[in-house]
Structure 1
Amino acid sequence: MRSNYLLILLLITMAIVISGCSCQPTIVYNGSENTSGNQTPSPGVNNDEEFITGVASVSNVQVLILESFPVQVNVEATGYLPDGCTTIANVTTTKDGNTFYVEIGTIRPRDALCTQALVPFTKSVPLDVYGLEKGVYNVDVNGKTASFELSVDNILSDKS
């Protein structure tokens, strides 16, 4: 009877250790850590690990207009990463006309053993809105959209 308890305790301990995998990838390029968000290894570098890159699954986008002048605008994206090893790799923002495009990229080690549970995330991204004219602007974050309106031109006047 006692050996059954020990066996169960051992199995539970192993399950906890295995599910607690902390797979935070560190990408090394030419002997230094990647801090630029660039996901492509330099040619000629011996890179034993392979990574899978993609875009984050975004479920909600909210635009936050800060009470200041000139106005500051942040986009708050919420969503889920597919497993315990996938992390946010980089965020890029571009503007085309009255639309801001935000892409939240992900990275994970290809052969890592990871928890197979969705991991929620929230990412706040500032938009460069200084100098914009009044009007309605759209924001697209990985396919989810929102909009905001500037009621006045967002520029400081030179009048003294």
Structure 2
Amino acid sequence: MRSNYLLILISIAMAILISGCSCQPEIVNNDSNDTSGNQTPFPGVNNEEFITGVAPVNDVQVLILESFPVQVNVEAMGYLPDGCTTIGNTTIRKDSNTFYVEISTIRPRDAFCTQALVPFTKSVSLDVYGLEKGIYNVDVNGKTASFELSVDNILPDNS
């Protein structure tokens, strides 16, 4: 009798493992600094099979690396709405003293997925070489932060 319960328990565990969402597409993350706006959000993705969107960002942190010239990374944190939604492409554009970062999502249209929030952290490198000293803003999917460059971020010419 006890072995029957064990066999049933193992069968249920295997069924749960097998039924997990194996529906996540393989996505090549083409991070882009293209400011032309001529890029489709998901090249090669059939929109009839996938739902694309914008990642819900709850918090943004700016990390200034101790180097010269200075390097700046932005960490965006949030929660994806289900177990099949994944982070897609990231696009960055700069307008005046503001960097606009858009983190996209992609999900199979007809997939059955876990309906639990999935935390994510996405790190994005900003191209800050050559910027003058000053205060800069970062907008990641509507969540903002700022950082300051205390000196011009360019190597001095030693000629």
Other-structure match for 1:23: 23
AA aligned to 1:157 is P
- Whether the 8 Å contact between 2:59 and 2:143 is mirrored in structure 1 is yes
Distance change (3 Å), C-alpha of 1:131 and 1:89: same
RMSD: 2.5
Q: What SS does the corresponding residue of 1:15 show, helix, strand or coil? A: helix
Counterparts of residues 5-84 of structure 1 (less than 5 Å): 5=5, 7=8, 9-18=10-19, 20-26=20-26, 36=30, 38-41=41-44, 50-84=49-83
Distance change (3 Å), C-alpha of 1:99 and 1:122: same
- Whether the 8 Å contact between 2:60 and 2:140 is mirrored in structure 1 is yes
Other-structure match for 2:151: 152
Q: Post-superposition shift, 1:2? A: 6.2
Other-structure match for 1:30: none
2: CA distance between counterparts of 1:35 and 1:102?
14
TM-score, length of structure 2 as denominator length: 0.82
Other-structure match for 1:112: 111
2: CA distance between counterparts of 1:35 and 1:13?
32
Distance change (3 Å), C-alpha of 1:48 and 1:72: closer
TM-score, length of structure 1 as denominator length: 0.81
1:25-77: CA deviation from partner (whole Å, max 9, x where unpaired):
147xxxxxx664752548xxxx6961000011111100000011110000011
Q: Where in structure 2 are there 5+ consecutive unaligned residues? A: 32-40
Question: Aligned residue pairs: how many?
Answer: 149
Percent of aligned positions with the same letter in both sequences?
74
2: CA distance between counterparts of 1:4 and 1:81?
39
AA aligned to 1:39 is F
1:85-141: CA deviation from partner (whole Å, max 9, x where unpaired):
111110000001100000000001000111111111111100010111100000000
Q: Post-superposition shift, 1:157? A: 1.4
